[in-house]
Structure 1
Amino acid sequence: MNENNEPLLDPLVDPHEVHLIVLTGMSGGGKTVALRALEDLEFYCVDNLPSALLPQLVNAVINDDRGKRQRIAVGVDVRNRGTDFAHMPTVLSGLAAAGVQVHLIFLDCRDEVLIKRYSESRRRHPLATRGLSLADAIAEERRLLRPLMAIAEKVIDSSELNVHQLRRLVATGYAQATEGLTLMFQSFAFRRGLPLDADFVFDARCLPNPHWHPHLRPLSGKDAAVREFLDHEPMVGEYYADTVRWLDAWLPRFEQDDRSYMTISIGCTGGRHRSVYLVEKLAAYYRDRREGVLTFHRELE
């Protein structure tokens, strides 16, 4: 019930197995990265939503998709109104009482790391408009967010995590909200070493290299010109088809073994053309056939 004693959810909506993840935490702590990971897991994602609108969002998403999409992620930070932080615990407890699976994740980070990240990115802190120094803005943000940190289901310290590690941590933690095995396809450059978290590694260095074509060199495997070049190379098509056949044959066997997450890494020399192209093509193929498919391009992000 809300403050007017009205039900939070439409009584015609069945909240059973609805997962609502609320992401909050320190600005610069990785909320955008975490939200993107959940979006790749096919959560319906909204950033900077007022807490009072959370029940309406849950109702709208369930009704719009007729119960098919039952995974929602919302970002909340200091850009929200100050009263939101005071009201959020009441709203979340009301949704939980209505049957929604509510998860509150707080992304934390050490102050000195946040200051370094802001210095390197040259971004402005959201509270800088109040005339505060960066250190004072971070201290004020911690004070404002303290009520949410106190009730968080999980606190993730991103101080020592890179983008990919944070993305994987969030995805593995909440892949159970999807059905079956969650796949992470990642591209990388062999010259920078193998990814430490790879379950399987495919080597694409034998394929024709767009790098040797001056007009393609500054582009990546996401660009149309590179895709068109590789689409017309028979060896690339054969490599892709063989990879799909292998994955189609073996992925179900890992699922039968109750595996919930797998990282498939594809490398080439520079990690920008062939590996990126194959990762994007494989991800598109499997997104048409299953839930929970993520991509990460180590040398592009």
Structure 2
Amino acid sequence: MRLVVISGLSGSGKSVALKALEDAGYYCIDNLPADLLPAVVEHLRATECRELAVSIDARSATSLARLPADLGGLREALDLKVVFLETKDDTLVKRFSETRRRHPLSTGERSLTECIRDERNLLAPLRRLAHPLDTSDLSANSLRIWMREFCQIRSAAFTLVFQSFGFKHGIPLDADLVFDVRCLPNPHYQPDLRPLTGRDAPVVAFLRAQPAVLAMFEDIRAYLAKWLPAYIEDNRSYFTVALGCTGGQHRSVWFAETLVEHFRAGYPVLVRHRELP
């Protein structure tokens, strides 16, 4: 079992870090009382949970004292990583001001800076056991990427979707890239091909016989081969490539099907044809 414990200062990005692991398939628990950690781990191990991430912070103040000992025992029994997110005081003050949220340690008798100071002192023993990360100058996306790399999460969760559509019915709202193939020879004007789709052999043969079709396919294939790794590094879980022709029946369908076959060896792929039954 792999266990990632995320702790740190309020406003340092713990929720973003935990969400990154949730998106990668981890079973995640936010604001777990520290004294419940061993019992939760034991329960989930019995259910064959393989990857667990929990967030523990100053809201567990009354039970933090025994957490270092519990982590020591867990480290011997499973693959444990502890991350401590911290941020400069002025950055935390700015974040709380922008979100207008109340600090968890606020009682109405302490200022925000006093709460931040007290929280640092309270979490100091836990910080010494963890891998620290200063998030003062990190964007949310950079923090997500850092968590993936720190936890050695591969990009297997990335899914590449090819979707055909007809422009006369509008562009798909979930498209990340849109390629317009309406300039290519149209099987619709061949009476024997009109009732068929880009999946049928006669239409496939017609399109493969057109030099312009093959040239555009190669251009799209080369573009995707070059830039897909960059889109994956941008921390995307799904990436939709939309191919559009006039009605979404012939050319766009062939392009989507042919691109799927080409990229299937390198990526988890899906194909969708919006205009086909």
TM interval, short-chain normalised: 0.5 to 0.7
- The alpha-carbon deviation at position 32 of structure 1 amounts to 0.3
Amino acid at match of 1:165: S
SS of residue paired to 1:45: strand
> Partners in 1 of 2:175 and 2:11 — Cα distance?
25
Contact 1:175/1:182 (<8 A) preserved: no
Aligned to 1:80: 60
Aligned to 1:166: 143
Contact 1:48/1:79 (<8 A) preserved: yes
5+ residue gaps, structure 2: 161-173, 179-226, 272-277
> Partners in 2 of 1:110 and 1:236 — Cα distance?
55
Q: 2:3 aligns with which of 17, 20, 29?
A: 20
- Cα-to-partner distance string for 1:39-66 (whole Å, 9 max, x where unaligned): 11111111111222212111211222xx
> Partners in 1 of 2:250 and 2:58 — Cα distance?
51
Contact 1:25/1:108 (<8 A) preserved: yes
| 205 and 251 in structure 1: CA distance in 2 versus 1, 3 angstrom threshold | closer
> Is 1:144 paired with 2:115?
no
- The alpha-carbon deviation at position 81 of structure 1 amounts to 3.0
| 234 and 189 in structure 1: CA distance in 2 versus 1, 3 angstrom threshold | closer
> Partners in 2 of 1:250 and 1:103 — Cα distance?
30
> Partners in 1 of 2:99 and 2:228 — Cα distance?
25
SS of residue paired to 1:127: coil
> 1:81-230 alignment to 2 at 5 Å?
81-82=61-62, 84-97=63-76, 99-152=77-130, 154-176=131-153, 181=156, 183=158, 198=231
- The alpha-carbon deviation at position 85 of structure 1 amounts to 2.1
Contact 1:41/1:175 (<8 A) preserved: no
Q: 2:264 aligns with which of 235, 248, 255?
A: 248
> Is 1:33 paired with 2:26?
no
Question: What is the count of residue pairs matched by the alignment?
Answer: 204
Amino acid at match of 2:71: L
SS of residue paired to 1:21: strand
SS of residue paired to 2:67: helix
- Cα-to-partner distance string for 1:68-118 (whole Å, 9 max, x where unaligned): x31111101111133x22111100111122x21111100111111111111
> Partners in 2 of 1:59 and 1:112 — Cα distance?
40
Amino acid at match of 1:150: R
Aligned to 1:61: 44
| 120 and 71 in structure 1: CA distance in 2 versus 1, 3 angstrom threshold | same
SS of residue paired to 2:152: helix
> Partners in 1 of 2:9 and 2:99 — Cα distance?
16
User: Which of structures 1 and 2 has the bigger CA Rg?
Assistant: 2
| 136 and 200 in structure 1: CA distance in 2 versus 1, 3 angstrom threshold | closer
- The alpha-carbon deviation at position 136 of structure 1 amounts to 1.1
Amino acid at match of 1:133: S
Aligned to 1:52: 35
| 234 and 39 in structure 1: CA distance in 2 versus 1, 3 angstrom threshold | farther
SS of residue paired to 1:42: coil
Percent sequence identity over aligned pairs: 33
CA RMSD in angstroms, aligned pairs only: 3.7
TM-score by length of 1: 0.57
TM-score by length of 2: 0.62
